[in-house]
Structure 1
């Protein structure tokens, strides 16, 4: 009997009024109390759980028609207030406590096929057990529960188990589930098996024979201390960062090309290097999160902080001619929203782009509230990938480069702030009696109230020059000219932007009364914002592209042009602003304005400004030049738009970006989750990033813990890594997941090395993979982890294992992508012009780890694709392991693996002194970490001798291999060893 029951009996006895105790009376009272208590306990045990018992029934049978997408009959079984309300029929769907008054019960119980739910044509009716469960749930009050994953994880008490087994908290929780399902843990694996498993899991590389020997010796003396020492050694290895960075690269959709049609090369490898450093330095996961989502918005961001934001510049881009930049900019925003939720929240958030979530309480408009966090970033699918950051090739120079960048940005901002102060303080007047002439494109003057505007007529043509002329009637000087480029339809453009324009060059022409023309260049340009896809000062020179809203214009954009000194006008003279527009973008779009206006200022205060502006501009330009001399790639990074250039965010009707609906007033997170706590009135990406990484967020820690668990055990505690929603799988060990998630944030301080250390130190992780038929019958999928799962190596580890065991592996970290051997005929880029230049044999660049391989989305490296590496066009949450002949054909025939076999053959033949048997056993141990059994060794030796005999008799068959028969036999035997199951699994 439970302790609570005994307490209740004691309390009941204390309340019974009797003058004198009697044994018989006490027994009767105790029995009565016990019966009552057992009834309470039984009732408690029979309590129906909405999440465990009812929600799965509704999701499987009802929500397709009565969920978040369709609400047939105005009924939704996703939202409690709707489920307890009335449908279109006027009848209450669920009446808590009264199943007979609930229309739901009537519909699932009736024999009338016209009223039966689900209708016969939609599927089978609920079985009696399901009907009884729903009835009992309604009788008990129809208690609704929030989906388990949307509630914050709670600290857990350790379960009490029968068996005394385990090293730490992980083991207590796994053993509890084993015992619940009638299972017992397996013995500890052998030292060789353990070190192989650990080495591949932590570093992605096999252990060396020296490491195996050292561990076996230390293990014999003190197994616990030896194991802890190996764990710490491998966590400290530089290879650790490479192994785990490759996992994140799937999530980040990392690729060295931009994707889609052209799929041109795009320098982003410094981000891959940032990942490696972040893992090796054990950057806390909350900071790892914030830096990637909003590193650019941190106070005084470092170079590394800015590089981290490449995460969301890895969306695909489209440089094909004729495509609409805005379509693909919006596509990138949508990709960033989906990726953020998939990576950090494990949610199928993409569902709500077109409609409310079919299973979870996330509504359609909440997708667009969240998209507002990304809708006002500077990038806009342009070919130069702006905004970019110049990154030194040497990481040691990052600090110096950051100083140069900050100095440039500070000087630029100071100069522009000084200019904006003058602009706002000056008096301006529009041109009057304006005329316009233009080349190549027709134009006219249009009066808009008192304002005279210039409009183009018909199609615009690249190379158009405008001459806007007005008489100098009301002024005797001009100090500055303001050009405003405007959308043709401002109201529509605010939501659906028009093609932009670029002012390639401008100068002032003054025609005197004598007809002579004086051409006056401008020496200063002050744009409305420092945000630009090109250097604004290019407008002051005929040799460059110039300034402008490139490539789309949402609202008015202006720039002020200032000559070196005031332009003095004689009576009767005319002023002409000469403008050139020479940019032709994406082979389709001419960057010529359709509508503009010209204003000028005749304010003597500009004299003082000019005198002070010259040194400010000189400093700005010098610092800019210094920054441009940073040697290294210009990589795409995130940067937020100037608030004055903010875009509107709308709900898209059924996800169609051309059908704009409700205006989103401010960015926000879904109501089903903890409330966002912004720093100001307009939440930004940094607010969102901190929300993601906050302890209040119910999913961030759980999802990351689950991801690490899946990498170690082959299956997550929640098997559906990509779906923690109610349509995903429930956790097999919910208390373990919550315990690890809470402690990951608190005790472990978001340290992923500490989290990994705890898991791999557990007895659960150290179990043998050997099992028996009885265990497999009770637990066919090994859900309860009564033995260690055996799994094939990841694609990267297959290649890296070949490199390591052949002795070819280059250990240098970081740097430009590499181009290992690729099958002939594969590399045929449709566009882009990037070359696949494989380094010569012997060049270390040829033998670098797999994560450094150049990744082109349209032609992904075949040897890695054969082992389930995704194309990385979009975020990939988990790799589903396939088993096809293509994988075997790759390791048997690919040029790289042939080279690995030759390297392993050399190691067997020359590295180990001894008999043939000993050399072959040495090779077997190199690749499998095991010593071969006598039977296996006998088979291998026999195979070798047969091959040696064959090549001795047929030397012509040794083409491409060693020049001797035994050398060729070693090579073929090495290839055989590299293809063994024992080699390709851990």
Structure 2
């Protein structure tokens, strides 16, 4: 008994000592990390002039606004720090004291509480897990000493077009963009990278403008071209340009071929997608592109094309389930349109003000429902049961909708590809139900409060009395050149498309909690230049592509790895994985399988069997309960046309980070998971493409000793380096030796896919197919650089 007690006590002592040691180690480790961080901050040089927007506001937003910001419901101590007037006002709960006193640190309560050693006084409170580092405290100190000047949030100030900076390295500069980039590089003592080889630039430009790799014939034709502008013009003129631009817009517009929710039944919205392709290809100016989609039906003598464009507003999920509360779902649809306007066009988190005043941005709940009011005049219901019944037979559209006939697609709507259909119905907008809009308490449909009229947040730009109080007035407000957001947001999105991330990394959020622009003067210059050139999207793309910044090599130099590992300063071209759609299209194009047909109804390529059945919640009724792949050429259409079911989007695209399209999405995640590798190694479409490419290469030149090099160049646009060719040739000949005496395995391997088998040697096909698959799985193949 004694021994047992002794052992228990001994173990307790050992465990206690061990825990104490561990805690001590963690404390010392944490203290060491903290000390290292503080030493790093202490070495940081303070700016000559502390800027409120770029130095002070981020500190206040991250650490103070939760309790002392725009949200009146969460505000403490009667203190508000996001407004200049309130920040200099006497504290109501502490008379005689002021949050900030210009040029007076002792009387500035804000400074005193952030540098206090007393935990009862210190702000932010220790239990908030927030803390200012030494550099941030010094910034606040210097800002107050310099007068504590406030400014409107940077993104709400209309952009100004300042002249491009003068730089030392004038030879590198090709247009104004380079001046702004080079200014920051020279400040950091860095130099830009060399110009990329012409083959690399051709591939880069082709992928950016068409979403497809260039054909070898195009490369041979353009490689001697010294004027990059002509190369850009070549790809801008291709129909594939409109498809490429539309692919990105579908995420913003939350486009899908099904309604969503539990039943997730079929809808016909693809004619709107055909219109978007048409609009980009004819280079419809961005201001008109927005106006037609938001309010085309309200334009004077609106054409059917302009009305069709308003289907943008009806792309949201719509329930087809019995038993729902009509007003609840009708309200949800309007909320969706309002939020899509905020995120997709204005680049602000408008939805955060649905239930209460925005916690960080100067947008009240009243502001939110005044924006909501613009979309609240449509004669629609939460559930249209007659449309459900009609949908199974013919219409697939909830009213209001327009009917498009075969005759119209042969005339005024020739961009719509109806094939054998005689007519189709597409949901559009029609303000035919005047309603009074109310602020909804806590955002709940059944708790109306004060009534409001259509209006826009004054913090962004006041709504002029000269504008009509409808969606057309809203569209005119959006494209007003004094609107600080619309042009900035779009040029930033185009920049992100070309460089992997925007000058403002949070493309969806230009608010207080969003990222600050890495090059604010460049962003403003681009926005104003875009508007000055009549919102010309092709002009904007070409302007960026003709810069030396865009044309750099992408290699990561050792000095850049240390000074700018995230490439925020853009001393090199970026490298980033292409989207799932682009990867699939790339493989189809290089194998020769791609069907270039433009527009038309969505198609169903290969997909693992049983997925729709497993996720179907609506029983066996409806046309979307079982996935039946298409056959023939429809299997090889561009991914833009792949059928998009909201409850189960195309799985291979989902694995490569495509959104569900339940709501507007501006910036896709970029992940790297084992599932992505499994898709590239096992997907039927990839294996079939490798097989077809192999058979075509063999058929064209059966005795070509350089067949591996030929195939490599066809996929990657360039010739293989010596070590690459040695490795691939070795792999090919090893596989060839294996299948030479095992025709059964070769036949089994190459049986993948529905595309016809060409009459070439099965063993050679199998060996070359595996080699093609290796090249398709290279990082370079699926990377845009």
Please report the TM-score for the alignment, with normalisation by the length of structure 1: 0.69
Match of 1:799 in 2: 584
- Distance in 1 (CA, whole Å) between partners of 2:606 and 2:119 is 65
Match of 1:873 in 2: 662
- Distance in 2 (CA, whole Å) between partners of 1:327 and 1:911 is 63
- Distance in 2 (CA, whole Å) between partners of 1:704 and 1:395 is 32
Match of 2:120 in 1: 114
- CA deviation after TM superposition for structure 1 residue 245, in Å: 0.2
Is the alpha carbon distance of 1:301 and 1:122 closer, same or farther for their aligned partners in structure 2, counting shifts above 3 Å? same
- CA deviation after TM superposition for structure 1 residue 381, in Å: 2.7
Is the alpha carbon distance of 1:121 and 1:315 closer, same or farther for their aligned partners in structure 2, counting shifts above 3 Å? same
> Which protein is bigger by CA-based radius of gyration?
1
Match of 2:181 in 1: 174
Q: Does 1:771 pair with 2:579? A: no
1:782-931, aligned counterparts within 5 Å? 782-828=567-613, 829-831=616-618, 832-834=622-624, 835-840=626-631, 843-912=632-701, 915-916=704-705, 918-931=706-719
- 8 Å CA contact 1:351, 1:357 repeated in 2: yes
Q: 2:78 aligns with which of 70, 74, 81?
A: 74
- Distance in 1 (CA, whole Å) between partners of 2:175 and 2:128 is 49
Match of 1:194 in 2: 201
> Please, which moves more after superposition, 711-720 or 125-134?
125-134
- Distance in 1 (CA, whole Å) between partners of 2:545 and 2:413 is 40
Match of 1:432 in 2: none
- 8 Å CA contact 2:329, 2:383 repeated in 1: no
- CA deviation after TM superposition for structure 1 residue 135, in Å: 3.4
Q: 1:689 aligns with which of 472, 475, 480?
A: 475
- 8 Å CA contact 1:769, 1:790 repeated in 2: yes
- CA deviation after TM superposition for structure 1 residue 913, in Å: 6.0
Query: Per-residue CA shift, 1:320-378, capped at 9, x if unaligned?
Result: 12111211111111111111011111111111112222222111211011100011112
1:700-779, aligned counterparts within 5 Å? 700-746=486-532, 748-779=533-564
3-state SS of 1:318 partner? coil
- Distance in 2 (CA, whole Å) between partners of 1:668 and 1:122 is 37
- 8 Å CA contact 1:379, 1:638 repeated in 2: no
3-state SS of 2:449 partner? strand
- Distance in 2 (CA, whole Å) between partners of 1:346 and 1:119 is 32
- CA deviation after TM superposition for structure 1 residue 895, in Å: 1.4
- CA deviation after TM superposition for structure 1 residue 141, in Å: 2.9
- Distance in 2 (CA, whole Å) between partners of 1:931 and 1:151 is 50
- 8 Å CA contact 1:391, 1:398 repeated in 2: no
1:362-381, aligned counterparts within 5 Å? 362-381=363-382
Query: Per-residue CA shift, 1:60-106, capped at 9, x if unaligned?
Result: 21111111232101111122222222233334322334332333233
- Distance in 2 (CA, whole Å) between partners of 1:136 and 1:214 is 59
- Distance in 1 (CA, whole Å) between partners of 2:290 and 2:297 is 13
- CA deviation after TM superposition for structure 1 residue 940, in Å: 1.4
Q: 1:61 aligns with which of 60, 63, 74?
A: 63
Match of 2:93 in 1: 88
- CA deviation after TM superposition for structure 1 residue 743, in Å: 0.6
- 8 Å CA contact 2:180, 2:522 repeated in 1: yes
3-state SS of 1:101 partner? coil
- CA deviation after TM superposition for structure 1 residue 983, in Å: 1.3
Match of 1:255 in 2: 256
1:631-646, aligned counterparts within 5 Å? 631-642=422-433, 646=434
Say which structure is richer in strand. 1
Is the alpha carbon distance of 1:47 and 1:967 closer, same or farther for their aligned partners in structure 2, counting shifts above 3 Å? closer
- 8 Å CA contact 1:653, 1:661 repeated in 2: yes
> Please, which moves more after superposition, 389-398 or 903-912?
389-398
Match of 1:982 in 2: 780
- 8 Å CA contact 1:254, 1:314 repeated in 2: yes
- 8 Å CA contact 1:392, 1:398 repeated in 2: no
- Distance in 2 (CA, whole Å) between partners of 1:401 and 1:914 is 47
Match of 1:971 in 2: 769
Match of 2:399 in 1: 386
Is the alpha carbon distance of 1:792 and 1:47 closer, same or farther for their aligned partners in structure 2, counting shifts above 3 Å? closer
1:220-619, aligned counterparts within 5 Å? 223=226, 225=227, 227-383=228-384, 384=387, 385-393=398-406, 396-397=409-410, 399=412
- Distance in 2 (CA, whole Å) between partners of 1:812 and 1:858 is 27
- 8 Å CA contact 1:793, 1:984 repeated in 2: yes
- 8 Å CA contact 1:652, 1:659 repeated in 2: yes
- Distance in 2 (CA, whole Å) between partners of 1:152 and 1:394 is 46
- 8 Å CA contact 2:185, 2:192 repeated in 1: yes
- Distance in 2 (CA, whole Å) between partners of 1:283 and 1:143 is 42
Is the alpha carbon distance of 1:686 and 1:802 closer, same or farther for their aligned partners in structure 2, counting shifts above 3 Å? same
Is the alpha carbon distance of 1:707 and 1:354 closer, same or farther for their aligned partners in structure 2, counting shifts above 3 Å? same
3-state SS of 1:909 partner? helix
Match of 2:220 in 1: 213
- CA deviation after TM superposition for structure 1 residue 659, in Å: 2.0
- 8 Å CA contact 2:583, 2:782 repeated in 1: yes
- 8 Å CA contact 2:321, 2:383 repeated in 1: no
- CA deviation after TM superposition for structure 1 residue 394, in Å: 6.8
- CA deviation after TM superposition for structure 1 residue 678, in Å: 4.7
Match of 1:446 in 2: none
- Distance in 1 (CA, whole Å) between partners of 2:204 and 2:153 is 36
- Distance in 2 (CA, whole Å) between partners of 1:106 and 1:761 is 51
- 8 Å CA contact 1:118, 1:125 repeated in 2: yes
- 8 Å CA contact 1:362, 1:672 repeated in 2: yes
> Please, which moves more after superposition, 764-773 or 691-700?
764-773
Query: Per-residue CA shift, 1:900-945, capped at 9, x if unaligned?
Result: 11221122212346523x2111110111111011221122122112
- 8 Å CA contact 1:855, 1:861 repeated in 2: yes
- Gaps of at least 5 residues in structure 2 are 1-45, 388-397, 752-760
3-state SS of 1:651 partner? strand
Is the alpha carbon distance of 1:128 and 1:243 closer, same or farther for their aligned partners in structure 2, counting shifts above 3 Å? closer
3-state SS of 2:423 partner? coil
Please report the TM-score for the alignment, with normalisation by the length of structure 2: 0.86
- CA deviation after TM superposition for structure 1 residue 776, in Å: 1.1
3-state SS of 1:212 partner? helix
Total equivalences in the alignment:
702
- 8 Å CA contact 1:390, 1:631 repeated in 2: no
- Distance in 1 (CA, whole Å) between partners of 2:484 and 2:540 is 18
- CA deviation after TM superposition for structure 1 residue 395, in Å: 6.0
- CA deviation after TM superposition for structure 1 residue 973, in Å: 1.7
Is the alpha carbon distance of 1:88 and 1:652 closer, same or farther for their aligned partners in structure 2, counting shifts above 3 Å? farther
- 8 Å CA contact 1:701, 1:745 repeated in 2: yes
- CA deviation after TM superposition for structure 1 residue 679, in Å: 4.5
Query: Per-residue CA shift, 1:113-162, capped at 9, x if unaligned?
Result: 32322222113543444334323323333211011110000011120101
- Distance in 1 (CA, whole Å) between partners of 2:781 and 2:104 is 63
